[in-house]
């Protein structure tokens, strides 16, 4: 049996395609990808707090002064991807995983509201959040470390140790389970916290501790952040969620570095939170690299 040569097969295919085009016949269409539905939850680091300080406002999805968020951030950039469609941003500055008495919606309450609004459901493909920092009194630990002038930062060590003990009690599994109950098909991504302070010996450091705390205390505080992230990471993965460490993206851009990506100035309520650069060049690329939304988009 004689088979046509590769050239003849190609020539025949080309001729057939030319005939279709000249005759006006329709060519086969390629299926377009549908973007993955995306919901954002979490605390101030998910709410873009400090992105364009001093701008901030009430998150319109809640309409309550208890739920505030900042300006454009990594969430807005993520939504601009063709493979992503943001269906709801429910993050609130000050949010916790556990119970709160301040009226700020917890992670579970944010998820419930998103579900009630129809934003979080079985068609949701991605959920992101940061949470846990308020549960361990992050701000109070900064204050304790800033006030510690001892050579080995013993007071700061005690404060971070207490925070770590609180971290061990953060019920990440329950939060992830609540989200999963509303969005059974979602990839849940728990984002970590960046190290805040430049430490002695870094090539980009101008002032170790950024003038906020001693070099010794800054080193202890950053180590405490690493430990908090490690606890949250273990809990998140055990619960079936993804954890993303953003600290490497902020290396060389901590408070006290020559190119800081953090607020520290007259608008004190935004201090120790990323600037727009921190969200756009720190959190956003970490999200895209880890979540890979184009692979989740459906054709």
Q: How do residues 80-99 score in pLDDT, each as one tens digit? A: 999 999 999 999 999 999 98
Q: Which residues lie closer than 8 Å to 236 by C-beta, 6 or more apart?
A: 172, 176, 188, 190, 242, 243
- How much is the pLDDT for 90? 98
Measure the CA–CA gap between 189 and 33, rounded to whole angstroms.
22
Q: What pLDDT digit, counting tens, does each position of 9-66 carry?
A: 233 333 333 343 344 444 444 455 799 999 999 999 999 999 999 999 999 999 999 9
Instruction: Please name each of the domains of the chain with its CATH number.
Output: 37-294 (3.40.50.1110)
pLDDT score for 33: 78
CA 56 to chain centre: 18
Q: Max alpha carbon distance in the chain (Å)?
A: 91
> What is the predicted pLDDT for the residue at 32?
59
Task: Please give the pLDDT value at position 1.
Answer: 36
State if pTM tops 0.85.
yes
> What residues in the chain have per-residue pLDDT under 70?
1-32, 299
């Amino acid at each position: 049996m004689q088979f046509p040569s590769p050239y003849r097969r190609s020539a025949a295919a080309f001729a057939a395609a030319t005939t279709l085009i000249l005759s006006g016949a329709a060519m086969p269409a390629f299926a377009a990808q549908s973007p993955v539905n995306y919901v954002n939850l979490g605390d101030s680091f998910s709410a873009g707090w400090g992105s364009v300080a001093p701008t901030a406002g009430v998150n319109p999805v809640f309409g309550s002064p208890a739920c505030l968020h900042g300006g454009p951030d990594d969430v807005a950039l993520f939504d601009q991807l063709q493979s992503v469609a943001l269906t709801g941003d429910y993050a609130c500055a000050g949010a916790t995983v556990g119970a709160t008495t301040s009226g700020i919606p917890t992670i579970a309450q944010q998820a419930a509201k998103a579900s009630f609004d129809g934003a979080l459901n079985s068609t949701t493909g991605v959920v992101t959040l940061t949470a846990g920092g308020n549960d361990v009194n992050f701000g109070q630990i900064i204050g304790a470390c800033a006030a510690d002038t001892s050579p080995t930062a013993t007071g700061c060590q005690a404060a971070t140790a207490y925070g770590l003990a609180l971290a061990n009690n953060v019920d990440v599994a329950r939060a992830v389970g609540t989200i999963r109950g509303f969005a059974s098909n979602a990839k849940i991504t728990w984002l970590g916290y960046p190290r805040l302070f430049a430490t002695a010996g870094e090539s980009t450091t101008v002032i170790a501790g950024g003038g906020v705390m001693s070099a010794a205390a800054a080193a202890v505080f950053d180590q405490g952040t690493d430990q908090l992230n490690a606890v949250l990471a273990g809990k998140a993965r055990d619960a079936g969620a993804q954890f993303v460490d953003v600290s490497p993206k902020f290396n060389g851009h901590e408070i006290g570095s020559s190119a800081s990506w953090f607020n520290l100035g007259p608008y004190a309520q935004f201090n120790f939170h990323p600037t727009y650069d921190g969200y756009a060049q720190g959190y956003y690329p970490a999200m895209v690299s880890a979540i890979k939304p184009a692979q989740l988009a459906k054709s």
